[in-house]
Structure 1
């Protein structure tokens, strides 16, 4: 009996050690990114929401400058607060007080609540900003983050000044959803919440037009990325909730000025959805198309994207 217990303990320790070794490349990369974000004058902080049922991790401006507008960056499914905006953050922090939250069940944010909607995500981000004392801000959301910032602008009209939505298929028909899912030809949940390196590479191929960055990363690094995922089940539930939704015939028209940005060669949310969102929002919106760019404009054209965001958000300021 004693021998069996010792054997089980040893097995458990070996499994733990193996898991730690698999995560090591990811841990090292995360540490380097933290140093880089600190260099960009951002600091990590955590705010507790919902009577401590929800914890939200946010990279926040070290010293809020009154002469700079506040800008909240909301990531999509392709990463967390650090990974999604690597190529944009240095430039944006020069012009804005930047805040980058981990959405709930991404990075270091989590909740014991059962909600799995973009409305819940939106409320958490807005409540997080209130906890930090940020009363007015503009928002930029990419892909899934676009769904979130749309709801943020709807529920907090006085807080949200301007809205930037990048490659986010918010307005669609049921026929279009079925067509696009069939065109992808793979289980979307498996691609967005990968369990194998090849599934990450598939997501990269779908997201990029000019290059395939997935092939640059060795399997051991991608396995570390997967091993570091603590909220796989919850993120699967988030995307299943989004995919199950029917088109909303009563989707509100935002009152804020809105800039819609789309990659001309987007294979995940085709450009037609950008035109539909533009028509839905009407004259207070603008649509800008970046040529020869796929879904991940933040990777393929970060400078062009930053220029569009900066020009739009700063316009009209004295």
Structure 2
């Protein structure tokens, strides 16, 4: 099950030193996820053209529902769910993949779509022996989870979408891009510490977590990303794409969660998604919370997710 593709070039001494703070942080997160009863594995997909890294339970419990967490931009599986994983792992068999071109997941294929990401996550779950699960996606991960639910109706039991502007008009997209006031690709795939702080400022309402980290750490975070080109192509695909006028209505029960102070995807888009999905969907608005609800309100988010997904 362990992959040999996607290896990177050996680092120079300067490169190794530059990434050292980031490597230490990644090691600490690895230890924390291990403490939460999770272990990493890597599965090969598409006749070994794609390698997907997934955190899986050490001991899967039959009396617990299966839950797949799908991250967005701004980090990998560990960084985005670090404040949620311990609590969710107590109530669910948690699986957390790195999307392709994030973390340790990679592909030699040319696809850059959310549909391709959805296929990879579903195929990855099959590889680790999970036949049914609920899926929770945040921001870009919400796009992926939506396509997963569309693709595998019998496999995906329930859906949670957090802060993900899936339903929008062309005019709304243009307005959102104007409000950003800069190149969205540069914000989502940063090359400088100040661009990371800009992303954090846009994502959060209560505080800017980017200000907690010195420049040398943020430079290490940037240097550790070996897939900037591919990530930019994924953003460009979303930006160039037209609104899907034939977006299917999911058959699964769906919980939509949104911060009322979201500056990336305004709360109006939450109501539009809720209206599109109809009676099988439920909308929860978190007050005084921005786009990054996983950072600003992890406990409230976990409670809503657990209540919605629990069998009782």
TM-score interval for Structure 1 and Structure 2 normalised by the shorter chain: over 0.9
Tell me how large the CA RMSD over aligned residues is: 1.1
Corresponding residue for residue 202 of structure 1:
198
Following superposition, the deviation at residue 67 of structure 1 comes to 0.4
Following superposition, the deviation at residue 60 of structure 1 comes to 0.4
Corresponding residue for residue 107 of structure 1:
103
Corresponding residue for residue 225 of structure 2:
229
Corresponding residue for residue 253 of structure 2:
257
| Corresponding residue pairs, total | 304
Corresponding residue for residue 62 of structure 2:
66
Partner of residue 296 from structure 2, selected from 281, 294, 300: 300
State how far apart, in whole Å, the 2-side matches of 1:144 and 1:109 are: 16
Partner of residue 277 from structure 1, selected from 273, 276, 288: 273
State how far apart, in whole Å, the 1-side matches of 2:74 and 2:301 are: 17
16-25 or 283-292, which moves further after superposition? 16-25
State how far apart, in whole Å, the 2-side matches of 1:18 and 1:134 are: 42
Corresponding residue for residue 120 of structure 1:
116
Deviations 1:59-78 (A, max 9, x none): 00111000000000000001
Corresponding residue for residue 158 of structure 1:
154
State how far apart, in whole Å, the 1-side matches of 2:252 and 2:72 are: 22
Is 1:213 matched with 2:213? Answer: no
SS for the counterpart of 2:143 is helix
Deviations 1:64-99 (A, max 9, x none): 000000000000001101000010000000000000
The 5-angstrom pairing of residues 30-45 of structure 1 reads 30-45=26-41
Q: Which runs of 5+ in 1 are unaligned?
A: 1-12
Radius of gyration: which is bigger?
1
Following superposition, the deviation at residue 191 of structure 1 comes to 0.6
The TM-score, its normalising length taken from structure 2, stands at 0.96
The TM-score, its normalising length taken from structure 1, stands at 0.95
Is 1:146 matched with 2:142? Answer: yes
Q: Which runs of 5+ in 2 are unaligned?
A: 1-9
Corresponding residue for residue 75 of structure 1:
71
SS for the counterpart of 1:178 is helix
Following superposition, the deviation at residue 186 of structure 1 comes to 1.1
Corresponding residue for residue 133 of structure 1:
129
SS for the counterpart of 1:164 is strand
Moved over 4 A (4+): none
